[in-house]
Structure 1
Amino acid sequence: MIDTVTILIMSGLLTIVCAVIFVLNSAFGRQDKVALFWSSALVFAIMSSLSFAVYGVNSNQWWANSVGNAAIVAAMGCVWMGVRSFNSRYSRAWIVFGAGGVAFVATFLDSPVENEWAGAPVSWVGVAVFMALAAAECVRGRLKRSINSSILAVVVGAEALFYLGRLVVFLAYGPESPVFADWFGTGPTTGLAILLVVAGTLSISLLRLERANNFAEAGLFTDPGFSREGVLDWAHFTRGGSDRVVRAGMHDMSSGVVMLTIDSLDEINTAFGRDVGDRAINVLADVLRETMPPTSIIGRKSAGTFGVVTTMHEPDESVATIAALHNALVARSFDKRANLRLTVSIGVATASAPDAAWQQLFDDASARRDEAQARGGNLVLDGRA
């Protein structure tokens, strides 16, 4: 029969292996908060496993029990923060580290030298709550469309239920009861932890791969704020566009928002290959940079969808700008072998200084672009008859 200390050491070693693989993959991949939080979760899990192993060898090392309880709460909290960041929500780090601090203090005040279960109920509450929150987050936002997030939801949900059951049995029957020892003792808990670490690490690794592929599809490189076509990514475009409209109003200038989408890009990819589709996207980006005023802001949302924010003295100036764009697209081939030319659906919204509001301009331009697509594409709609 394997003793408890050996089981704890094996669990720690397995966690270390999973953490090293994931952290190295994160270190040489795209740097973002999701990878940071999930890497931190594995590091805290290692700290927790090793701390409990130290305490199992020598119970006089009371600090190890306190550190272990605090670290396991922080680890589960970091999983939750990573899931929230994946869904582009605020991480709430102060909640996680505050909970870890509470677990540490609760263990310290509960005589950890004589009591191996010191602070355990408090740490189990933290683990159960963070895992339940992570499971709920996995089925909302971007994550609800991924099979890997569903797997992760099952993993963290199972852990939340297990720790909730462990807490109830501990409080109802005590740690010496056969029910607790057989189903929720250190051995069964460590065995379950090993399974969940493997399944959880695999799930979050696949989610990171999905995320990296989505960034590649959107043309995002590691340069903050820019896509591979030399225009802004969408988050920076919308922030900059909003600011540009406000500043234009301060100088009594008109503002305009242009939304563009390449017509039939999916069909181009299917018929001629993704390389040709990528060239079409690059051609549109180049033409926008050449024809739009040098003070305008250009961003790419996804696939063949771009946006432009520009300022002008009079709203009617946008007519000449869009005409120059169309002429440049007609003159430019994105596949010389088939002599293919781009057609785009364009929505334009302009407003004079007193009436300019970013959100209204953006919504109007987007709606007109959508209508242009619905009417067959290769059309400019600017709200005029």
Structure 2
Amino acid sequence: MSLDVMSVMVMTALVVNISGILFISETLLRRDEGAGRVWAIGYLLAMLTTLAYVIWSQDAAARWPIAVGNAAFVAGTGAMWLGCRRFNERPMLWSSLLVAGAAIGAAVAVVLAGPDGGDWAGAVWMFVSLLLFSAFGAVECLRGDLRESRSALVLGIVLIIEAVFFVARTTVFLASGPESALFQAAFGTVPMSFLTVTLTIVAVVVTSVLRATRAPMRGQVRRAGLGTARDGILSADVFGGAIGELCHRAALRGETVAVTAVRIDDLDQISTAFGSEVAHATEDAFRGGVRRHAPSNAFVAEDGQTGLLVGTLVDSPQHARRQAAAVYGALFDDLGRVGGGVLPVIGVGVALSDSTGYDGAALTAAARDAAVTAAATLESSVLVADAD
């Protein structure tokens, strides 16, 4: 069966643009979240890529659509890698500069090739950039927070397939040329378009699932003044200042400060298995349950994407452990009534100034480490941190 380039490119543009519009629209409906925003930029650049190539297919003599399309293609693939880095909370400055430089280089390569460059002007620069950014994204899916998600493994496989394809495409391009029968049959515009459609559909589903585990719908959690959420939960920065001040005053009086970290570890698995609505309901029950069952004089704060912190004064270590156990037990009951009895893994860790010292940051870190250990330990759901 013979397909003309124009029809295939229009089909590709339709799929990519519909997928991009859906992802971007959902991003606008959700609370701001770094990875989702970066991936949305990637889909926007993919839409620009298809538009530029469709224009080129109508006027093969024009050079600027090739320059724009190549640069947007490189930047869009780079944005997928950057989104993975942002999801893993890794530094973004140097990687962003690298993507920007590669995209600019892709456009410049077309300009430098001039009219003699033909339809494949600047192709080698673009191919190499695409295979590198695809490989970088695949590696990012295998570490950090993404490593814990099965959905991220699927995204990693998609990026590996893209990287391998461009390794082969570059090799055949340099060895046989773009007019060779092998290149046209296996790596030309039509095969590339079919691969793009397939990878786009898979990628938009996977990134939507990953984004859903991090960004609840807009309106679920709205910030009020002074870094406090409408549901009474402080921001991490406000908690850091508050626990530091509490430690300072408690040290002067010889009182005991307790920081309790409560974490829920498998929201992404719940979202994948039961849907985002069940995951959101579980998260709401978790947040509301910790706030409701914590001592009335305690302050509760965010601790990353999957945890909460509770800071308060206690009479003794035994008192702190009883409070933490009460929160765990009540929270377990609350979550058992959500989503048809889906029970996530909960870990509770307690750090005390008697053993850790009157240092707010040290107390928070010790409680967080204890909660991670408790979540992975069958013997105890509540763990009190030992002194270093």
TM-score by length of 1: 0.72
Give the CA deviation at 1:56.
2.2
Q: Where in structure 2 are the equivalents of 1:100-111 lying within 5 Å? A: 100-111=103-114
Q: CA RMSD in A?
A: 4.4
What number of residue pairs does the alignment pair up?
343
- Aligned-partner Cα distance in 2 for 1:22–1:204: 9
SS of residue paired to 1:88: coil
Give the CA deviation at 1:326.
6.8
SS of residue paired to 1:258: strand
Note if 1:176 corresponds to 2:182. Answer: no
Contact 1:23 1:39 in 2 (8 A): yes
Contact 1:84 1:137 in 2 (8 A): yes
- Aligned-partner Cα distance in 2 for 1:261–1:24: 33
Give the CA deviation at 1:367.
6.7
**Cα pair distance change 1:185/1:242, threshold 3 Å:** same
Per-residue deviation, residues 77-136 of structure 1 (Å, max 9, x unmatched): 111111222222233322212211111111111114751111111011111111111111
Partner of 1:360: 362
Per-residue deviation, residues 183-204 of structure 1 (Å, max 9, x unmatched): 1111211222122222222222
**Cα pair distance change 1:185/1:246, threshold 3 Å:** same
**Greater C-alpha radius of gyration:** 1
Counting aligned pairs with the same residue, the percent is 26
Partner of 2:223: 223
Structure 2 residues without counterparts, runs of 5 or longer: 264-278, 332-346
Per-residue deviation, residues 221-276 of structure 1 (Å, max 9, x unmatched): 253865674112xxx42x445455667899996694422559xxxxxxxxxxx999
SS of residue paired to 1:102: helix
- Aligned-partner Cα distance in 2 for 1:231–1:291: 13
- Aligned-partner Cα distance in 2 for 1:202–1:280: 26
TM-score by length of 2: 0.72
Partner of 1:5: 6
Which of 187, 193, 197 lines up with 2:196 in the alignment? 193
Per-residue deviation, residues 6-30 of structure 1 (Å, max 9, x unmatched): 2222211221111122222222233
Partner of 1:347: 350
Partner of 2:26: 25
Contact 1:166 1:184 in 2 (8 A): yes
The more displaced of 373-382 and 75-84 is 373-382
Which of 285, 291, 301 lines up with 2:297 in the alignment? 291
Partner of 1:131: 134
- Aligned-partner Cα distance in 2 for 1:165–1:115: 21
Contact 2:23 2:204 in 1 (8 A): yes
Contact 1:287 1:325 in 2 (8 A): no
Q: Which amino acid letter does the alignment assign opposite residue 174 of structure 1?
A: G
Q: Which amino acid letter does the alignment assign opposite residue 19 of structure 1?
A: G
**Cα pair distance change 1:289/1:69, threshold 3 Å:** same
- Aligned-partner Cα distance in 2 for 1:119–1:142: 36
Contact 1:143 1:149 in 2 (8 A): yes
Structure 1 residues without counterparts, runs of 5 or longer: 263-273, 311-316, 336-343
Give the CA deviation at 1:362.
3.1
